[in-house]
Structure 1
Amino acid sequence: MTFANAPRPWMTDELQMVRDTARRFFETECVPHLKKWQEQGHVDRPIWRRAGELGLLCAGIPEQYGGGGGSFLHEAVICEEQMRAMVNSFSINVHSGIVAHYLLAYGTEAQKQRWLPGMARGETIAAIAMTEPGAGTDLQRITTSAVKDGDDYVINGAKTFITNGLLADIIVVACKTDPTAKAKGVSLVVIETKDLAGFRRGRLLEKVGQQGQDTVELFFNDMRVPQANLLGGEEGKGFAQLMQQLPRERLVLAIGCAATMQRAVDETLAYTRDRKIFGDSLLHLQNTRFKLAECQTKATIARSFLDDCVARLARHELDIPTAAMAKWWVSQATCEVVDECLQLHGGYGYMQEYPIARMYADVRVSRIYGGANEVMKEIIARAMENQ
Structure 2
Amino acid sequence: MVSTMAINKDDSRSFLTEKHLLFKQSIREFLAKEAVPFYDQWEKEGEIPCSFWEKVGDNGFLCPSIEVDFGGIGADFGYSVVLAEELERVGSALGGISIHSDVVAPYIASFGTIDQKQRYLPKFITGEMMSAFAWTEPEMGSELADIQTTAIKKDGYYLLNGAKTFVTNGFKADFMIVACKTDPNPVPPKDGISLLLIDKDKPGLTRGRKLCKTEQGSSGTAELFFDDASVPVGNLLGEEGKGLSYIMQKLQQERLICAIRSIMAAKDMLHLTMNFIKSQKAMDKKRSAFKKAQFTIAEIATDIHLGRTFIDGLICKHMTGENIITEVSMAKQWITEMSKRISDKCMQLHDRYGSMGDDKIIRRHRDISSPTFFTGTDETIKTLIAKNIGF
One-letter amino acid of the counterpart of residue 190, structure 1? L
1:199 aligns with 2:202: no
Structure 1 contact 352–358 (Cα < 8 Å) conserved: no
Q: Deviations over 1:61-99 (max 9, x none)?
A: 111111222111101101101111115246112101101
CA distance in 2, matches of 1:4, 1:87: 24
Gaps of 5+ in 1: none
Gaps of 5+ in 2: 1-5
1:226 aligns with 2:232: yes
CA distance in 2, matches of 1:58, 1:212: 21
User: Which of 109, 115, 121 in structure 1 is aligned with 2:120?
Assistant: 115
**Identical residues among aligned pairs (%):** 35
- Equivalence for 1:347: 352
Q: Relative to structure 1, is the Cα distance of residues 279 and 125 closer, same or farther in structure 2, using a 3 angstrom cutoff?
A: closer
- Equivalence for 1:91: 96
SS at structure 2 position matched to 1:132 = coil
One-letter amino acid of the counterpart of residue 374, structure 1? E
- Equivalence for 2:163: 158
The structural deviation recorded for 1:137 is: 3.3
Structure 1 contact 34–87 (Cα < 8 Å) conserved: no
Q: Relative to structure 1, is the Cα distance of residues 92 and 382 closer, same or farther in structure 2, using a 3 angstrom cutoff?
A: same
CA distance in 2, matches of 1:70, 1:283: 51
Structure 2 contact 191–244 (Cα < 8 Å) conserved: yes
- Equivalence for 1:241: 246
- Equivalence for 2:197: 190
Q: Deviations over 1:226-256 (max 9, x none)?
A: 1001002x21110000000001000000000
Structure 1 contact 274–281 (Cα < 8 Å) conserved: no
The structural deviation recorded for 1:181 is: 3.3
After superposition, residues 128-147 of structure 1 pair within 5 angstroms as 128-147=133-152
Deviates more, 1:88-97 or 1:291-300: 88-97
Structure 1 contact 43–90 (Cα < 8 Å) conserved: no
Q: Relative to structure 1, is the Cα distance of residues 247 and 16 closer, same or farther in structure 2, using a 3 angstrom cutoff?
A: same
CA distance in 2, matches of 1:365, 1:42: 17
CA distance in 2, matches of 1:2, 1:192: 40
Structure 1 contact 37–212 (Cα < 8 Å) conserved: yes
- Equivalence for 1:366: 371
Q: Deviations over 1:143-167 (max 9, x none)?
A: 1111112121110110000000011
Q: How many residues align?
A: 384
- Equivalence for 1:105: 110
CA distance in 1, matches of 2:7, 2:288: 17
- Equivalence for 1:44: 49
One-letter amino acid of the counterpart of residue 203, structure 1? R
After superposition, residues 247-326 of structure 1 pair within 5 angstroms as 247-276=252-281, 279-280=284-285, 285-326=290-331
The structural deviation recorded for 1:284 is: 7.1
Structure 2 contact 343–365 (Cα < 8 Å) conserved: yes
TM-score normalised by structure 2 residue count: 0.94
User: Which of 172, 180, 183 in structure 2 is aligned with 1:175?
Assistant: 180
SS at structure 2 position matched to 1:345 = helix
SS at structure 1 position matched to 2:137 = coil
One-letter amino acid of the counterpart of residue 54, structure 1? N
- Equivalence for 2:3: none
Q: Deviations over 1:246-282 (max 9, x none)?
A: 0100000000011111111111111111104774487
One-letter amino acid of the counterpart of residue 272, structure 1? I
TM-score normalised by structure 1 residue count: 0.95
CA distance in 2, matches of 1:139, 1:352: 40
SS at structure 2 position matched to 1:7 = coil
Deviates more, 1:26-35 or 1:245-254: 26-35
- Equivalence for 2:337: 332
One-letter amino acid of the counterpart of residue 188, structure 1? L
Structure 1 contact 42–90 (Cα < 8 Å) conserved: no
CA distance in 2, matches of 1:302, 1:314: 18
One-letter amino acid of the counterpart of residue 193, structure 2? V
RMSD over aligned Cα atoms: 1.9
CA distance in 2, matches of 1:222, 1:52: 34
SS at structure 2 position matched to 1:37 = helix
- Equivalence for 2:129: 124
Structure 2 contact 186–241 (Cα < 8 Å) conserved: no
1:378 aligns with 2:389: no
